[in-house]
A and B are shown apart, each in its own frame.
Chain A
């Protein structure tokens, strides 16, 4: 069956030529040489007349298959070429064309990062109103009636005896009233203060508070949770320092410093040469807060913590002006794409 072998050889020769050709002219040449009136495949077909009928049919069919195959290969090679116009004026360095994507606000990115870390630890989300009652914002949280935070200087008051919540901890007070331990919650949200706007202070900021209430919860549990969060968020080698402090709604209370994320504790401008950055406040929920919510503080104990999203974003991205967050200048927003 030497004719069939000839066809096979011609086919592979043609395909190789096609794959090595890079211009329309070269493809035409291939077409003429193999498929043209005087082409090699045509020449094979011309010899068929001398063969017996059944052999003729067989070879004819495979000759046509070869023909179609070569034809299709030329076509698809040409198609590729034409989308690039010609090989010589194609420029892969031209920017690709698509509607540029937008940016999720950096505060929401950081807030999500924080929340996601706590999701991993099994905390659920709870929410509450921004316009709060004095009771949930202060009284239920063990603020004495004459606490300075209840002064006009610190808190924005709203007509009809409401306040713009000064922290998201009121959500804790609300949640405790309606749920039974074990409770394991984070409360992300917006909070407000009566502050003059400057590079370091604003009338509003975002906070993620968290709390856990169950039997037998101790400072050690609180420390474990905070250490786990800080390692997940700032990296495995972060160091922590717990400084006893004071908040009306926790007792005992502490502030937590992490080793400076920039200088790793050696001292730099960011950490004011202390090697530490203050990152969050925490403590054991004051028994009064539990009692106010109708939870037996003898049986149950709990911890709570709170962190400022702007502060963490400013530290993490070295943002030096808190006003940038609410200005929403797209040149700022798009830096965090």
Chain B
């Protein structure tokens, strides 16, 4: 919300600078977001008189103006259609800096030199009006600085108000906070209202059909108004507060809205259509046109102000086209009402727009003094500025009076919650300064909250008021040791943290995805599966939650490829999401994905090689080693998004926890990935449950190991893992280490066969092994390999 600094100063009588006012209000919860001097575009802009205005040959849009600015007479190019000889205008001289970083320099157009500019309101930051130049009154003194002449030295303060404080959405409301900070009283403008003898009630009556939606409706009649532009002092305030002046009646309702915070509406009494206001819910499909010219089809969510027959305003939101104040309006029906916040919310939602009025009613206006003050203030101003006569009396329909709340505030509670002992006197002072009525009851206060503060409902709300007016900066910082003094790490956090270290050490970069994916891609990756669907996606390509990590990794790989990052080792630790299962449980599963594609890192000693399957199993192996997990098994299994020939399930302790393989070329291509892409994804729940970081100490071996190497030739189809397991089994517990150290297929081996070299290290924990013992074991190994796998032993 934008409010004039001068206005707040007038209302409080304080001598605070813009900076001090901003800081102090911000630190009591009414935050000033921005402040801008209103005359910041008026430096070197002066009042000038147009002495002459001549056409320029060959140009029909521009004219040559001769202007007297007091210190000199200058020639300017002028493009405004409304410029005329004899006008007093605003002239920007060389060096002026106007809206939009427009700097006034010497220019030459059609051979004519121009050293200044006659300005429109937009160029000077007064309004958005750019239809023509500003024409000043004839008595404006030539040569005077425009800002001085207009008395336009002010600062526009932009407030970022919290939604619980409707009372602060006005000059008086903001001034109330400022005044309370300085312990002074707000100087509310006095209302000088003279009523004419005619009774308003002879002209209008009010009937409320739904007193819950509209607890109060008050009206005044003002006769014989003359619609004119407002005087400058009104316009100026509106402009500084960011509101465009229209005419005296509309301007006054806006002025009073800004000043008091209470929305008003002015009807053209003669167009109103009856002598009766009836407030009721709209009927289903009832048509109503708002004053912006739009026709709405209403439903009972909309509260209509009617003339007994048809709608004349959408109550609290916007007036109707049929009863709008026009230039020929003579008599005014001025409305000041209080609408329930929930009906306004429903109403504006149905109508599809918000207004200054709806925003204030929705947050909560004041049904009592504030309402009457606004009505009388506006009536008095209309009389003053339009020459109208205010008829006697307010036609006030207020069936269910809304009473101020009474709240008990215990001093002990206040101290305990703030953590600072404030004196009784200080607390009473703070609350009284905020215009709350306080009654001392010994160990507590009975506080009566005026209805302009609907946010104050409980004791805690009053404590908040005390804290914010005392200032959080004046509350001490306590060093307390409450609760636990140590932090046991969650197993899954420990697992995640250590996994990150293991995987980054192995060269993988970590990615973080948000988990929202495109259903089209998701369906392609995991066809026929169930997704958590977003009802109102912010964009159509983020409309489901991922149910595996592949579908969020593919766009990442695609992004990198499109930036020529072709060699990738990536991992993510993230959640996947499933819609409710049969038992209604929503499952979120923590997983790891590992991705490799492209080539290994280039260095001067080794040639780069293409990443493949084994880079994934190698990394998985590092993880399983780090967490002391039992071995993973890779079993052939069909996964939709993997190539058939390279598609495996990952088993841990006999349970399938994920899959590993090469992504189908067709799927990769759909994401613009044209090189082989390998990935593994697995759930980490079981791994966390079974991880065992610290093993018991084992004594270091006392006796020497006896190494034996063995080279065998077997069918290519025999899995290396089976061979290793076979060797381990045959060698028994004396085999300390069994490793494959060479693998060969090629010329020297029969086709369809492979040569595998295995090293076995034998050791007995309690004695040296004799050569015979080792040979005997080795013989057993060889026999079993021959029997089981038809292995042929190669001579070394």
Contact = CB atoms under 8 A, between A and B. Distances in A.
Interface of A: 94-95, 97, 99-105, 107-108, 112, 118-120, 122-125, 127, 129-131, 146, 148, 152, 156-160, 162, 164, 182-184, 190, 192, 194-197, 202-204, 212, 214, 216-221, 223-224, 227-228, 241-246, 251-254, 284, 286-287, 301, 325-331, 333-334
B784 interface: no
Nearest to A133: B586
A146 B468 CA distance: 26
A122 B571 CA distance: 31
A93 B342 CA distance: 75
Contacts of B536: 152, 156-157, 194
A159 B586 CA distance: 12
Contacts of B515: 130, 190, 204
A53 B791 CA distance: 62
Given A97-B605, A112-B497, A254 B472 contact: yes
Given A203-B542, A221-B478, A334-B509, 4 more contacts: A102-B505, A112-B497, A131-B588, A197-B539
A107 B487 CA distance: 22
A301 B342 contact: no
Contact of B588 (A130, A158, A241, A284): A130
Contact of B473 (A123, A190, A241): A241
**B165, B480, B486, B601, most chain A CB atoms within 10 A:** B480
Q: What are the 4 tightest A-B residue pairs by CB atom distance, in nearest-first order?
A: A220-B419, A218-B419, A184-B483, A244-B29
Contacts of B467: 219, 244, 252
A94 B461 CA distance: 69
B163 interface: yes
Nearest to A147: B163
A251 B464 CA distance: 7
A219 B419 contact: yes
B193 interface: no
B516 A221 contact: no
B762 interface: no
A328 B513 contact: yes
B484 A99 contact: no
A65 B533 CA distance: 83
Given A129-B588, A223-B477, A251-B460, A156 B537 contact: yes
28 contacts: A102-B505, A125-B487, A125-B489, A146-B342, A157-B534, A158-B534, A162-B532, A182-B484, A190-B514, A195-B538, A202-B514, A203-B514, A217-B482, A218-B416, A218-B420, A219-B467, A220-B418, A220-B420, A220-B478, A221-B478, A227-B477, A243-B29, A243-B31, A244-B468, A246-B165, A286-B460, A328-B559, A329-B559
Contacts of A190: 514-515, 575
B345 interface: yes
B37 to A, nearest CB: 15
B504 A104 contact: yes
A100 B601 contact: yes
Contacts of A146: 341-342, 345
Contacts of B27: 241, 243-244
A220 B477 contact: yes
Contacts of B786: none
A218 B478 contact: yes
Interface of chain B: mostly helix, strand, loop or mixed:
loop
Interface string B478-515: 11111111111110010001001101111111111111
B509 A251 contact: no
A99 B416 contact: no
A214 B514 contact: no
A182 B476 CA distance: 22
Given A97-B606, A204-B515, A212-B482, A252 B468 contact: yes
B563 interface: yes
Nearest to B578: A131
B472 A224 contact: no
A133 B435 CA distance: 41
B172 to A, nearest CB: 20
A101 B488 CA distance: 29
A125 B484 CA distance: 12
Contacts of B533: 158-159
B381 interface: no
B569 interface: yes
Contacts of A333: 509-511
B556 interface: yes
Contact of B483 (A112, A197, A212, A326): A212
B521 to A, nearest CB: 15
Contacts of B419: 218-221, 223
A190 B480 CA distance: 30
A100 to B, nearest CB: 5
A160 B579 contact: yes
Contacts, number: 240
Nearest to B512: A105
A160 B162 CA distance: 32
A337 B353 CA distance: 49
Contacts of A160: 579-580
Given A102-B503, A196-B538, A122 B481 contact: yes
A329 B603 CA distance: 23
Interface of B: 26-29, 31, 162-165, 341-342, 345, 416-420, 458, 460-461, 463-464, 467-468, 472-473, 475-490, 493, 497, 500-501, 503-516, 532-539, 542, 545, 556, 559-560, 563, 565, 568-571, 575, 577, 579-580, 586, 588, 600-601, 603-606
Given A244-B464, A329-B559, A203 B487 contact: no
B504 A103 contact: yes
Contacts of A152: 536
Contact of B516 (A101, A203, A241): A203
A159 B463 CA distance: 41
B603 A95 contact: yes
B207 to A, nearest CB: 28
B508 to A, nearest CB: 4
B483 A331 contact: no
B569 A102 contact: yes
Contacts of A212: 482-483
A284 B539 CA distance: 36
Contacts of A182: 482-484
A99 B163 contact: no
A243 B483 CA distance: 27
A108 B577 CA distance: 21
Contacts of B577: 130-131
Contacts of B461: 251
B472 A246 contact: no
Given A112-B497, A184-B484, A220-B476, A103 B575 contact: no
Give the interface centre of A102, A192, A325, A327 by most chain B CB atoms within 10 Å.
A102
Contacts of B556: 327-328
B426 to A, nearest CB: 16
A156 B538 contact: yes
Most chain B Cβ neighbours within 10 Å, of A194, A228, A242: A242
B565 A331 contact: yes
B424 to A, nearest CB: 18
A246 B162 contact: yes
Nearest to B164: A246
A225 B571 CA distance: 35
B605 to A, nearest CB: 5
Given A125-B489, A162-B586, A242-B473, A228 B503 contact: no
B604 A108 contact: no
B512 A224 contact: no
A314 B490 CA distance: 28
B601 A219 contact: no
B482 A101 contact: no
Nearest to B531: A159
Contacts of A157: 534-536
Contacts of A327: 556, 559
Given A220-B418, A224-B477, A103 B507 contact: no
Contacts of B29: 243-246
Contacts of B345: 146
